[in-house]
């Protein structure tokens, strides 16, 4: 396990890669194998039907400073998920490992082999991570969700290269399954001649999201459903079946209770559980992408939705203030620049970061002088394979009066995690 400190500029020549070097299923089929299952890495023709919101880079580009400050090595397989929680960075990989890394640059700069540890190993590649208090939730390719007890405070454990968190629960829990075992109304047909209770996901759990108050966990799956779980006792409260016509790849929640799901069926759907109702209902279907939707992100105030797809475009949606229920979104245009499929998105402050199968990360910001356009502040080169996951934060050590420094963490199919620092001047 190694940690490399990168002090060179990240304007590194991009390596040419084949689209087909890594294949991942982004669709769901009722059969055990399907030739029609498309890859989320497959890039398709750019979405030209929408106006471009990408403005030409101005003189601001000359004073944007960005650099890869660390390369975190330790994973031996694809890095699929990253989250920041407390003082740590958590990463999940395709070989079923969850690792924890210190967030502090001071600790990373020691280049100590013990700066990362394997804290969980389970069945199935880890597709998504979220954390709440002392609990870490992981979504897996084996159709399960697991809940881990976060324990980073034992000094004896910090001297070990690996130690395992306690697994508190596997969802659906045994109690949940048992309570629904004996009633026929609790069973749903999942394939020909096969049924199971509605609390089960029957394909890869692809994404997780927490409600604003942390009381609910939402899970999305390639089985075309999303489910709602109570975080206090891990009970499954609701399953929205046939939410899409193909695999669900992404799910995000707004602070005012709207749920957005992105699917391989090329659509984004908006859901809401209205006051007095017990189930989520469909509010709107957003249809502008021409290929599988892989990633979603919301602005901090929830007024702007960003969607990334295999068509190499990031579509920008804004809330329609004239809609009766406040859930309608109108398309504003597309951000273009990536040369292959968009695989991940994250928002930090007023920046949007996008990761792509072209192995780069782009950092976008709405142009203050023109509310309808965005500027690509930086293109971060350094990964040698597709960028699969991103997370970001404002640099806690940023104290400049003339700008703000941000830290961006990227995970890739090259098995590396990179830490980037970008300084953006105030406009």
The CATH code of the domain that includes 67 is 2.130.10.10
Distance CA 296, CA 305 (A): 7
* pLDDT digit string, tens, across residues 186-216: 778 776 667 788 899 999 999 999 999 999 9
- Whether 17 is covered by a domain: the verdict is no
pLDDT at 306 over 60: yes
Residue 123, domain extent? 37-425
* pLDDT digit string, tens, across residues 130-142: 999 999 999 999 9
Contact 409, 422 (CB under 8 A): no
* pLDDT digit string, tens, across residues 159-185: 555 678 999 999 999 998 888 877 777
- Whether 25 is covered by a domain: the verdict is no
Average pLDDT taken over every residue of the chain: 85
- Whether 15 is covered by a domain: the verdict is no
End-to-end CA distance of the chain: 41
- Whether 9 is covered by a domain: the verdict is no
- Whether 21 is covered by a domain: the verdict is no
Structure token digits, residue 345: 């998105």
Determine the pLDDT at residue 247. 98
- Evaluate the omega torsion of the peptide bond into residue 395 and state whether it is cis, within 30 degrees of 0: no
Residues in contact with 107: Cβ distance below 8 Å, sequence separation at least 6, in sequence order:
115
- Whether 30 is covered by a domain: the verdict is no
Number of CB atoms found within 10 A of residue 145's CB:
24
- Whether 6 is covered by a domain: the verdict is no
Number of domains present in the structure of the chain: 1
Determine the pLDDT at residue 370. 62
């Amino acid at each position: 396990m190694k940690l490399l400190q990168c002090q060179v500029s990240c304007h590194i020549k991009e390596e040419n890669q084949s689209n087909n070097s890594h294949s991942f299923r982004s669709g769901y089929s009722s059969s055990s194998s399907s030739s029609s299952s498309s890859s989320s890495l497959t890039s398709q023709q750019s979405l030209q039907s929408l106006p471009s919101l990408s403005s030409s880079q101005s003189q601001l580009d000359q004073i944007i400073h960005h650099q890869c400050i660390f390369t975190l090595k330790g994973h031996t397989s694809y890095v699929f998920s990253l989250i920041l929680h407390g003082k740590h960075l958590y990463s999940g990989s395709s070989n079923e490992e969850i690792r924890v890394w210190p967030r502090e640059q001071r600790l990373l700069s020691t280049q100590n082999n013990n700066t990362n540890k394997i804290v969980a190993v389970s069945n199935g590649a880890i597709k998504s991570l979220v954390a709440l208090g002392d609990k870490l939730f992981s979504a897996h390719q084996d159709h399960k969700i697991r809940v881990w007890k976060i324990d980073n405070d034992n000094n004896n454990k910090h001297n070990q290269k690996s130690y395992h968190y306690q697994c508190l629960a596997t969802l659906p829990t045994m109690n949940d399954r048992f309570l629904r075992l004996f009633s026929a109304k609790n069973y749903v047909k999942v394939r020909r001649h096969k049924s199971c209770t509605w609390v089960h996901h029957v394909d890869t759990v692809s994404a997780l999201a927490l409600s604003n108050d942390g009381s609910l966990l939402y899970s999305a799956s390639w089985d075309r459903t999303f489910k709602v779980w109570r975080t206090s006792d891990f009970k499954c409260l609701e399953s929205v079946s046939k939410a899409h016509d193909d695999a669900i790849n992404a799910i995000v929640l707004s602070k005012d209770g709207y749920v957005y799901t992105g699917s391989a069926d090329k659509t984004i759907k908006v859901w809401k559980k209205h006051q007095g109702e017990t189930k989520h209902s469909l509010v709107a279907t957003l249809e502008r992408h021409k290929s599988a939707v892989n990633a979603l992100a919301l602005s901090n105030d929830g007024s702007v939705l960003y969607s990334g797809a295999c068509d190499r475009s990031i579509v920008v949606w804004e809330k329609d203030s004239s809609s009766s229920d406040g859930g309608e979104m109108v398309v504003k245009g597309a951000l273009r620049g990536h040369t292959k499929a968009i695989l991940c998105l994250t928002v930090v402050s007023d920046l949007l970061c996008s990761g792509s199968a072209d192995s780069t990360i782009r950092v976008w910001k709405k142009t203050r002088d023109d509310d309808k356009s965005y500027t690509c502040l930086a293109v971060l080169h350094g990964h040698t394979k597709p960028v699969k996951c991103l997370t970001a934060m404002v640099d806690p050590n940023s104290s400049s009066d003339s700008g703000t420094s941000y830290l961006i963490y990227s995970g890739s199919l090259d098995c590396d995690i990179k830490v980037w620092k970008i300084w953006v001047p105030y406009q």
